[in-house]
Structure 1
Amino acid sequence: MQTTTLSFSNIHNHGELFANLFRARRQSFIVQKNWDLPEAEGMEFDQYDTPQSRWVAIHDLGQVMAGFRLTPTTARCGIYSYMIRDAQQGILGGTIPQELLYGDAPQDPNVWECTRVFVSHTIPQQYRRTVHKQMVDAMTVTARELGATKLIALTAGNWSRWYGRCGLEAEAIGPMLTIDDGKFQCVSINLAAKLH
């Protein structure tokens, strides 16, 4: 199992991996979860897939097993910044409630947003914990390399049960929300303890 951090600057070094990550995202979010998201050529994408973001792929023998996207909270592209802030500002048209944070969405070079987190449905249950550990390690290392001391994420409402097991120090920064048929909450993940 390998971990690769992708950017617009290095995608040419990794063959089909970037496209395969977006294909795996389509499978996870559009096919499996039935989310109404943009797609083209069998790939899912959105307005936050810009050169400002980084994408982490967990892969083996050409198969993308899991992945996520990191976007700086200082990002700007047209009217968009990053998903949590844009939701709070009402730019996303209500698909995510505006009241998702207790305070104002941060705009800080040391705070990055983590989105589009997925594990492929094809990964057998007995390997999922290994994949999750690889994802947490990759998220921590990549975020620290980018200068992040904190990550923020809109995550599944049961985050408190499994974040600790994964070695993540996190706290709620917004109320529990019902979005579609699930419970979600914004969290802040502290990376300060991961400075080594």
Structure 2
Amino acid sequence: MEVTTLSYDNIHNHGMLFANLFRARHKTFIRMAGWDLPEADGMEFDQYDTPASRWVAVHERGEVLAGVRLTPTTHRCGIYSYMIRDAQRGLLETIPDTLLNFPAPVDPNIWESSRVFVSDAVPAGDRLRVQMQLIHEMVISARTLGATQLLGIIPEHSPRLARRVGLDCQPAGPVLDMGGSRSVCVTISMATKLH
């Protein structure tokens, strides 16, 4: 199993990995979860997949097992900034504007974590190991990018898993029903040491 952080600067070094990450997102979010998201050629993408973002992929023999997107909270592209802030500003119909208990930050040391997934093809016995690899690389990448904190939307019970592996993950909003699943906005400190 390998873990790679992708950017527009290095995608040419990783063959089909970038496209396969978007295909795995398509399977997870469109085919399996039934979300109405932009798609082309069997790949899911949105307005936040820009050169400012980074993508962490856990993969094995070309198959993407898990992934996450990191986006700086300072980024802007047209009317869009980052998903949580844009939801709070009322720009996204599918995410309630009440998701966060405070104004969405615009700070070079805070990055957003979004489009987090683990493929349904990962056997139950391997899921924790894959999640650990994803979290570990996400933290390394975020710290390398200068992040001291991440802001993200995760399933309602995921903060317990995060704390179990040593992440300081705190709820930052109410539990909301989004796309048929109960999720919560969280802050994740990059200062803690992973187990």
2:19 is equivalent to residue 49 of structure 1: no
CA offsets 1:8-45 (integer angstroms, 9 cap, x no match): 11111111010000000001100111111010011000
Distance in 2 between the 1:5 and 1:156 partners? 23
Rounded to whole Å, the distance in 2 between the matches of 1:105 and 1:38 is: 24
Q: Distance in 1 between matches of 2:164 and 2:64?
A: 24
Find the counterpart in structure 2 of residue 124 from structure 1.
Answer: 123
**Aligned-partner residue type, residue 116 of structure 1:** R
Write the deviation string for residues 35-63 of structure 1: whole angstroms up to 9, x where unpaired. Answer: 11010011000000000000011011111
- Alignment match, 2:102: 103
Q: Distance in 1 between matches of 2:13 and 2:150?
A: 27
Q: Does 1:143 align with 2:142?
A: yes
Match of 1:6 in 2: 6
Relative distance call for 1:87 and 1:43 in structure 2 (3 A) is: same
Structure 1 pair 39/66, CA: closer, same or farther in 2 (3 Å)?
A: same
Shift of 1:177: 1.2
Q: Is the 8 A contact 2:166 2:192 kept in 1?
A: no
Cα distance in 2, alignment partners of residues 23 and 109 from structure 1? 30
Read off the aligned partner of 1:121 and give its amino acid letter. Answer: D
Partner of 1:79: 79
What RMSD over aligned residues (CA atoms) do the two structures have, in Å?
1.2
Residue 164 of structure 1, CA deviation: 1.3
Partner of 1:40: 40
- Tell me the TM-score normalized by structure 2: 0.96
| TM-fit CA distance, 1:158 | 1.1
Whether the 8 Å CA contact 1:140–1:194 is kept in 2: the answer is no
Taking structure 1 as the reference length, the TM-score comes to 0.96
Contact kept, 8 Å, 1:67 with 1:117, in 2: the verdict is yes
Map of 1:90 onto structure 2: 90
Task: Report the equivalent of 2:26.
Answer: 26
User: Unpaired runs of 5+ in structure 2?
Assistant: none
Give the CA deviation at 1:184: 1.1
Distance 2:148 2:3 in 1: 21
How far off its partner does 1:194 sit? 4.2
Partner of 1:115: 114
> Are 2:161 and 1:159 aligned?
no
| Partner secondary structure for residue 46 of structure 2 | coil
**Residue identity (%):** 57
**Structure 1 unaligned regions, length at least 5:** none
Q: Is the 8 A contact 1:132 1:166 kept in 2?
A: no
* One-letter code aligned to 1:19: A
User: Is this contact kept in 2: 1:39–1:45, CA < 8 A?
Assistant: yes
User: 1:156-195: CA deviations, max 9, x gaps?
Assistant: 1112322112221111111111223221111000111249
CA contact (8 A) 2:166 2:193 kept: no
CA distance in 1: counterparts of 2:27 and 2:64, whole angstroms: 11
